[in-house]
Amino acid sequence: MDKTEPSKILSSSEVKHQLRCVSTILDSLDALVYVADMSTYELIYFNQYGEQEWGEINNKPCYQVLQSDQQSPCEFCTNKKLVDSNGKPTGVHVWEFQNTVNKRWYQCRDQAIPWVDGRLVRIEIAVDITERKLMELELKQLNEQALHNARTDPLLGCLNRRAFFESSHAVLSHCKRHHRDLALIMMDVDRFKNINDKFGHAFGDEVLIQIANVIVNTVRDEDIFARYGGEEFVLLLPDATREQSIFLILRLKA
């Protein structure tokens, strides 16, 4: 019969040596490592990275040290995500956030674990991902700008022809499904070529801008207005009767 090897009892000097080894490892990390009581939020441990970035813990709760002007637990605190309905640890939760003190972005790995004295604590390892996050945000803004440019008339700032058809599809389907009124108005500028020929294209552009401004300031928010091409404009009016559409046309002509 195999005999179970008895647990080795460490001397106080060996324990201190192991603690120094662990502390050396954690303090050498280019990342925040901290431990906080999950009931009181008191910070129990802070590695050197944390102290250099946020100062000493001084028995304060994590939200007072790690966040700016925070006097109660953070709304985004992950404690509830780290335990199940019976209060048992559920494993690692990975998330990202922007710190309110230094405005840096961090990817955090949070986990609930039993502490040496038996209480449940949250251990978090937070790695600075600011450069990557800023690049992601910049790419997102560029994509949004590219999409906006693809749908917007560069001169008038309204929808272009392509965007009009894309936007009107949902409106047409809605009105057809719910048997709602729908009006379509096509407009153009009379003798616009003569304006360009006589006063120049810059003046003609200003005329189009002023006309577009009048239309935008007259129609409702739910109406779809677009430059159809050249001096042509189009309006799609959901829930507009024939009489309402005619009234709008007369207002625009006036």
Burial of 210 per CB tally in 10 Å (0-12, 13-18, 19+): exposed
231 is catalytic: yes
Task: Tell whether the model's pLDDT for residue 38 goes beyond 90.
Answer: yes
Give 14's pLDDT tier (boundaries 50, 70, 90).
confident
* pLDDT 10s digits, 104-117: 999 999 999 999 89
Are residue 34 and residue 119 in the same domain, yes or no? yes
- Give the domain CATH number at 218: 3.30.70.270
Regarding pTM above 0.75, the answer is: no
Tell me how many domains the chain contains: 2
**3-state class (DSSP) for residue 48:** helix
**Residue 167 CA to chain centroid, in angstroms?**
24
Are residue 126 and residue 32 in the same domain, yes or no? yes
Domain ends where: 100, 130, 160?
130
**3-state class (DSSP) for residue 246:** helix
* pLDDT 10s digits, 182-191: 999 999 999 9
- Give the domain CATH number at 100: 3.30.450.20
Are residue 113 and residue 165 in the same domain, yes or no? no
What is the structure's pLDDT at 237? 95
Task: Tell whether the model's pLDDT for residue 152 goes beyond 90.
Answer: yes
Task: Tell whether the model's pLDDT for residue 72 goes beyond 80.
Answer: yes
Domain containing 201 equals 152-253
Which of 75, 136, 231, 232 is the catalytic position? 231
Where is pLDDT greater, at 22 or 43? 43
Backbone φ and ψ for 54, nearest 5 degrees, come out as -120, -5
Token pair of 127, please? 């790695």
Tell me whether residue 165 is in a domain: yes
β-sheet bridge partners, residue 185 = 235
**Residue 180 CA to chain centroid, in angstroms?**
35
Contact call for residues 110 and 82 (beta carbons, < 8 A): yes
Burial of 144 per CB tally in 10 Å (0-12, 13-18, 19+): exposed
d(CA 45, CA 3): 38
Give 125's pLDDT tier (boundaries 50, 70, 90).
very high
